[in-house]
Chain A
Amino acid sequence: MKLPDEKFGMPACFNVKSKPSLFCPGCGESMILKHLGAVIDNEKIQSKITLAIDIGCTLLSWDYYNFDIIQTHHGRSVPTAVGYKMARDKRIVIALMGDGGAYAIGLQSLLHAAFRNDPILAIVINNTEYSMTGGQMAPTSLPDEITSTSPLGKNASIFGPAFHGPELVRQIANPKAFIARSSVSNPIMMETIITKALKNQITNKSFSMVEILSICPTNWKMNAAESFEFLAKLEKVYPVGEIIKNKSDKDSKSISE
């Protein structure tokens, strides 16, 4: 039998030279990137993929894979991906961003891409704060969540409650669009949802968006066990599953295969 080598635990599309990656220990984003790599391997689409990455922790993935990656401006990974897709419509385009890039500075780009039904996949990583700059409060922070700019807890009467991005986008998106939320606490479901979203882009030529709830042990100042406990709390506020139009949060369909 062949002896296991350095690539033993990695998806085939990973760039081995860039490992160990620049992400913090226990980063949820590297977990997401690993499963995205696994989906790309399963679907055998490595030669067709182009990834557009945003500013924020996502930019640390600029050499993560062995396929084309575009570094865009802050909040502009969606319009860059849309433009790329218009020029080269046979490519499969993924726009990767954090919750800051998607729901704060880049919200209009995301909304209009969904409104026009541009055939791209937007992956939004939601860890409820701005992680690269040190864990500042974001729109997605939960009420009473302690961050570095809300040391007494987020005051919901001033800064608003938790921001539900996919539910907002669903209201104006084309009916064909696939919009769902997933979490790093369930990697198998995450792979299923990403696969479904990619297939929606390939076969239906429609917009798809996946929000993935993620952990940030460094800025949450938690260990592994506490991080997953807090993630379970997040999943109660942000229900996981496919998002259906004009229904309240409780009615979102769960995907259990």
Chain B
Amino acid sequence: MKKEVTKIVLAGEGGQGIQTIAKVLSTALVSAGYFVSYIPQFGPEQRGTPSVSFIQFSKSEITYPKFDTADIVMVLRRRAINTIMSYIGANTQVLFDSSTIARQKFSINNSKIFAIPATKLAEEQFGNKNQNILALGVLAKNFLDYPENAMWEIISSQLGKKFAKNPDLAIKAKAAFDFAYNFQLETKKFSKPEYDTCEEIIVKKNSDRLAVIIPKYCKGCGICIEKCPVQALSFGKTLGVYGTPTPDIDIEKCITCGNCFRFCPDSAIKVSPTQK
């Protein structure tokens, strides 16, 4: 925080909560006595396009909300990288999600690149809505040196409505934030993403029927699960095009009614009787 103006870019998939943490971060910086400029950017589709937010803070007034090179870049999804690559300069600190992005996407010799497997941690420990809170915890500690308790107070005041509706979410978010605040960042030169979109076609069959799920079309809306009359579908481990879980089919329970592919908006699932 020595420089006059510190510029931050936060990027990820629409719906991941990038704008939520950008709002929290801006509020936190304002309450710390800074001038803050925050401007969001997302495509007309709202979801399904990379969501980016630009934040600047300074002790003096800020004249223009946009900039060319950032001081801190955070990116949580592979599809958002192309949008923010031009903001990474020689002195930019980068934080990325190593469970969805390979380290090789960034310059190998750069020593200012850090990683947290946010998606993996969120899926396995804290519930999949908390990947943004994990990233925020890391940003607060390692990049901005912001006090932990003060940041948590601002998170709970900003997300108060959601937490009041679902108290379980608050406990999980608090656990995620504490974990991230004390997380030792990865600085490996090479890493392989574990939670990437599955490019293969999943085929399951038995003597009566053939089920096909195409994860690269699935957007994780959950309509097929809602419309299945015998609960043969549930969210599985495979990731779809937006990094959301895709349905998993229990082929023995299925009755080939056809509701799942009749309602699927993206033609990602189909069940058909086996031809005899």
A contact residues vs B (CB 8 Å cutoff): 1, 3-6, 8-10, 14, 19-31, 34, 60, 132, 134, 184, 187-188, 217-219, 223-225, 228
Contact = CB atoms under 8 A, between A and B. Distances in A.
A60 B46 CA distance: 13
B220 interface: yes
Given A26-B219, A132-B44, A4 B265 contact: no
Interface size class of B (residues with CB under 8 A): 20 to 34
Residue in B203, B222, B244, B266 whose Cβ sees the most chain A Cβ within 10 Å: B266
The 9 closest A-B pairs by CB, nearest first: A26-B221, A25-B219, A9-B270, A30-B265, A9-B267, A25-B221, A224-B226, A224-B222, A10-B267
A217 B221 contact: yes
A25 B214 contact: no
B210 interface: yes
B47 to A, nearest CB: 5
Contacts of A22: 45, 48
A1 B274 CA distance: 10
Chain A interface mostly: loop
A24 B48 contact: yes
Given A23-B266, A25-B47, A25-B221, 4 more contacts: A4-B210, A23-B265, A25-B220, A26-B223
B242 interface: yes
Contact of B265 (A3, A26, A218, A223): A26
Interface in B157-204: 201, 203
Contacts of B45: 22-24, 60, 132
Contacts of A5: 201
27 contacts: A4-B201, A4-B212, A6-B201, A6-B214, A8-B201, A9-B261, A9-B264, A9-B270, A10-B267, A20-B216, A20-B266, A21-B266, A23-B45, A23-B265, A25-B47, A25-B219, A26-B219, A26-B223, A26-B265, A30-B265, A31-B264, A31-B265, A34-B265, A134-B46, A218-B46, A224-B225, A224-B226
B25 interface: no
B212 A9 contact: yes
Given A8-B212, A25-B242, A26-B265, A19 B217 contact: yes
Residue in B210, B262, B269 whose Cβ sees the most chain A Cβ within 10 Å: B262
Given A3-B203, A8-B270, A218-B46, A187 B263 contact: yes
B268 interface: yes
B63 interface: no
Contacts of B48: 22-25
Contacts of A228: 226
Given A34-B267, A224-B223, A24 B47 contact: yes
Interface in B101-133: none
